[in-house]
């Protein structure tokens, strides 16, 4: 059986170039509208987590990677004042895995990829980075958002791969923050920092980024990342 897998850094619902409004619900509905089997998301504001299943029609599992300084509704209102300036500082952010009805949602395991505590984030702005691994029955989906410094990101990607080494079939995906990272034992990467790599599975359709026209709204691109998708079996 073949499964459609996607990954997208939602950029907190912002556009590129930046505008004053966010479009998070539209983006979630866009990436799930045609019924993919699994969607891995990064940079999802914490206030939106309880809405994702309603917006997508899929089961949701998440890992909060940056705590929110404000409660949900207030964080959303404050961010909407100026989306170009206010982002994770007030809303927090999370990694999310959305799972469609053809797959079974099993256990979730979490691994912190770097040694950053909450107070260090508050004082210095350094973010915790996590790998979220969800058993979806046919395979384990590992979703990561690595540090935006290539040297550190390479080490974090290796830790994420080691975290799921015991799984027979794995999809390792997300925002790797290092261009075209080669991960031992996994399929070859594509150009860019957003990846879908597999081990123990075949790529029926290789990973590829969406064409820009698929994510244009009002003359702007939704997010500064393109969704990446693949079909695995």
The per-residue pLDDT for range 149-168, each reduced to its tens digit, is 999 999 999 999 999 999 99
Predicted structure pTM score? 0.90
The answer to which of 20-24, 48-52, 186-190, 205-209 has the lowest mean pLDDT is 20-24
Nearest to 126 by CA among 110, 147, 150, 152: 147
What per-residue confidence (pLDDT) applies to 91? Answer: 76
**Predicted confidence band at 212 (pLDDT cuts at 50, 70, 90)?**
very high
Q: Which CATH number fits domain 3-232: 3.30.830.10, 3.60.10.10, 3.40.228.10, 3.40.250.10?
A: 3.60.10.10
3-state SS string for 165-183: CCCCCEEEEEECCCCCCCC
Torsion of CA 155, 156, 157, 161, to 10 degrees: 100
In whole angstroms, what is the distance from residue 86 CA to residue 1 CA?
43
Top pLDDT among 92 and 178 is at 178
| 79-104: average pLDDT | 74
What per-residue confidence (pLDDT) applies to 128? Answer: 86
What per-residue confidence (pLDDT) applies to 74? Answer: 46
What per-residue confidence (pLDDT) applies to 116? Answer: 76
Top pLDDT among 145 and 92 is at 145
Count, in order, helices (H) and strands (E) of the chain: 6, 14
Domain parsing of the chain, residue ranges: 3-232
């Amino acid at each position: 059986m073949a499964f459609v897998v996607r990954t997208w850094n939602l950029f907190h619902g912002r556009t590129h170039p930046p505008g004053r409004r966010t479009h998070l619900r539209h983006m979630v509905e866009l990436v799930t509208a045609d019924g993919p089997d699994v969607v891995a998301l990064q940079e999802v504001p914490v206030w939106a987590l309880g809405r994702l299943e309603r917006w997508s029609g899929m089961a949701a599992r998440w890992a909060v990677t940056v705590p929110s300084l404000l409660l949900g509704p207030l964080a959303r209102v404050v961010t909407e004042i100026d989306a170009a300036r206010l982002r994770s500082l007030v809303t927090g952010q999370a990694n999310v895995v959305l799972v469609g009805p053809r797959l079974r949602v099993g256990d979730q395991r979490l691994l912190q990829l770097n040694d950053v505590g909450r107070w260090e984030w508050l004082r210095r702005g350094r973010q915790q980075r996590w790998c979220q691994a969800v058993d979806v029955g046919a395979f384990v989906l590992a979703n990561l958002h690595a540090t935006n410094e290539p040297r550190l990101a390479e080490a974090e990607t290796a830790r994420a791969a080691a975290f799921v080494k015991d799984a027979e079939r794995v999809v390792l995906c997300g925002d790797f923050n290092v261009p075209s990272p080669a991960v031992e034992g996994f399929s070859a990467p594509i150009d860019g920092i957003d990846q879908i790599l597999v081990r123990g599975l075949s790529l029926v359709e290789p990973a590829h980024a969406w064409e820009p026209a698929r994510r244009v709204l009002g003359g702007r691109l939704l997010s500064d990342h393109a969704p990446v998708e693949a079909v695995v079996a």
